[in-house]
Structure 1
Amino acid sequence: MNYTTLLEEVKQYALHFFGVHDNQQFLYHNLNHTESVVKSATLLAAHYHLSDRDFFIVLAAAWFHDMAYYTGPADGHEKNAVELMRVFLKDKGVDELTISEVGDCILATCLKNPPEELNLNQRIVKDADVFHWGTDEFLDRSKLMRKEAETRFGKKIGKKEWTEGTIRLLESHEYVTDYARELLQAKKLENLARLKQRLHQQEPSGSGVKEERAAKAVPGGAGHGKASVAIPESVVIKKKKSDRPERGIETMFRITSNNHQRLSDMADNKAHIMITTTSIILSVLLSVLLRKLEDNPHLVIPTMLLLVVCVVTLVFSILATRPNLPKGTFTHQDIDEKKVNLLFFGNFYQMSYEAYSEAMHVMMEDSDFLYSSLIKDVYSQGVVLSRKYRLLRNAYDVFMFGIIVSVLGFAIATIFFGH
């Protein structure tokens, strides 16, 4: 099953669904939220190197998980979303096991599910649904959620009441994937501290004077009962400025590298298809058709043309998958000048472990060297991909036009010279 094509069909269905069912009362549970969850799920799935099938399961669940808000009551919308998903995927010929696993991922978004009962796919979707709790978007999203709730329930919800409920929710929540905890937990605790500070400001003060010096109360961890530590605003800001870009850069490199790897795998699969196809045609030509050319001399030219087409296609396909290894060594000068990419095995496989370990420690101590190596690695992957897809395009062009010309040749030879 082609999961890439199927996932694109799921995406188009979701975009059409939200377009048709546009409802202004859903200020939060709308297409913007769904696309945000899909983006977060993609990030988490790429980090864990999911297979194509698991990648489809996770993203299909992300696209469907909130659709049922538009077709029924909010309570139990997860189960209704599963039914919408089941009807669509069954119509597309998806097997029952895959449909069931997508449904389990949708049900995992219910906050009441115990995390220890969830598998990796379900954990990814669960964390993706509340990914924004650990980002700068949290407060804005919370406002939208409050306005949506007021519209749905038909009553005003006080700021203090909403803030208290949100604090309880964040304090009881834990991200269930290691990567989400690493990436989002610190910022989620900052958001929680801001809510507590806001709640303190909303409550009437005995002196009637608000504190002029803001401080962030950062708990040791939600639900762990550790004492809070007061951190000055300036320190928090400095920490935020120094930490967040690093995480963003690392995430960018990770996603780009994973995308390149997936494209490389796709190119290899396409090349293997062409190699298999042309090999079968060549086998038939050499074993059957060539023997009959003495009795059918009018078929010599189209047969030879088809033979050449298959051979040229086969050569291009093999070249697209043929590995190209560098010499596998580097020098101390390369390290000093930061010219070598130590992240690609082709640059060090002939070196001793001691030399490679020493070079790696030098790179890890120098952030400029490290990031330049990551840039070289991504660039090198792109160059290799460009070569693969260029050769593959040549192979497909030769095969497509060659088959057309060969078939026409056989038809002309048979019609005009067959007798």
Structure 2
Amino acid sequence: MISELEKYCTQLLSAGKCAQLPFHNIEHTKEVVSNVKVICNYQRLSKEEIEPIVIAAWFHDTGHLELYQGHEEVSKRLAKEFLEKQGYPQAKLETVLACIEATKMPQNCTSKYAAVLCDADIFHIGTPDFFFKKLLLRREWDLKDIMKVSDIEWHKLNLKFLHDHHFRTAYGKEILERGKLENEEKVKYILGFCE
């Protein structure tokens, strides 16, 4: 079922509005799926525990096909329709939907499964990729008329996000947090030249 699901989500994310997004596109989803596996392996979760998180990772941004803000509700609907057709167990389906729901900003993790997906979704803030990814996100917000700000305002927004964010998994706290703090210092350094 996972290979069918992967194919289905890839088609959704490679078409229409999803294909036009610089950040929330098929590449981001593939990275999130990979990040889920990294975090789950670090935390020694079983294959049975990993499965619904991987499924949620594939579906979590598919709702961009229909709308940008509030896309999580559409993502949950698409996941539910697909999984019910597959006869996926109801308890696991609820876990998938809760994981997708938790990725709404600000993130609200209510289980260890949701915590994995949330950390996987913003994994990049704890890596050197942060600076490239934030350029893609800024471009996306510009295209969607979400936010148009000066360079200084953009750096301040990123600094606040980094400062306010807390990883929820052991992997996030023990590995990604260090990179996040380094990125925070780099943004402060950049701001020092702008002001």
| TM, length-normalised to structure 2 | 0.93
**Residue 95, structure 1, aligned to residue 73, structure 2:** no
Instruction: Summarize deviations over 1:246-298 as a string: whole Å, max 9, x none.
Output: xxxxxxxxxxxxxxxxxxxxxxxxxxxxxxxxxxxxxxxxxxxxxxxxxxxxx
Q: Measured at CA, do residues 79 and 8 of structure 1 come closer, stay the same or move farther in structure 2, by a change above 3 Å? A: same
Q: For the pair shown, which has the larger CA radius of gyration, 1 or 2?
A: 1
Which residue matches 1:128?
120
How do residues 248-327 of structure 1 correspond to structure 2 at under 5 angstroms?
Answer: none
Instruction: Decide whether the 8 Å contact of 1:25 with 1:151 is kept in 2.
Output: no
How do residues 318-397 of structure 1 correspond to structure 2 at under 5 angstroms?
Answer: none
Instruction: Decide whether the 8 Å contact of 2:36 with 2:116 is kept in 1.
Output: yes
| Structure 2: tracts of 5 or more residues without a match | none
Q: Measured at CA, do residues 9 and 137 of structure 1 come closer, stay the same or move farther in structure 2, by a change above 3 Å? A: same
In the TM superposition, residue 20 of structure 1 has moved relative to its aligned partner by 2.8
Which residue matches 2:169?
177
Separation (CA, whole Å) in 2 of partners of 1:200 and 1:65: 36
Which residue matches 1:245?
none
Instruction: Decide whether the 8 Å contact of 2:115 with 2:168 is kept in 1.
Output: yes
Deviates more, 1:104-113 or 1:37-46: 104-113
Separation (CA, whole Å) in 1 of partners of 2:171 and 2:19: 35
Which residue matches 2:103?
109
In the TM superposition, residue 21 of structure 1 has moved relative to its aligned partner by 2.9
Which residue matches 1:75?
69
| Structure 1: tracts of 5 or more residues without a match | 1-5, 204-419
Which residue matches 1:145?
137
1:163 partner SS: helix
Separation (CA, whole Å) in 2 of partners of 1:155 and 1:112: 17
1:75 partner SS: coil
Partner amino acid, structure 1, of 2:135: K
Q: Measured at CA, do residues 149 and 113 of structure 1 come closer, stay the same or move farther in structure 2, by a change above 3 Å? A: closer
1:27 partner SS: coil
Q: Which of 19, 26, 31 lines up with 1:31 in the alignment?
A: 26
RMSD over aligned Cα atoms: 1.6
Instruction: Decide whether the 8 Å contact of 2:43 with 2:170 is kept in 1.
Output: no
Which residue matches 1:42?
37
Instruction: Decide whether the 8 Å contact of 2:9 with 2:58 is kept in 1.
Output: yes
**Residue 199, structure 1, aligned to residue 194, structure 2:** no
Separation (CA, whole Å) in 2 of partners of 1:179 and 1:154: 31
Which segments of structure 1 move beyond 6 Å, counting only runs of 4 or more? none
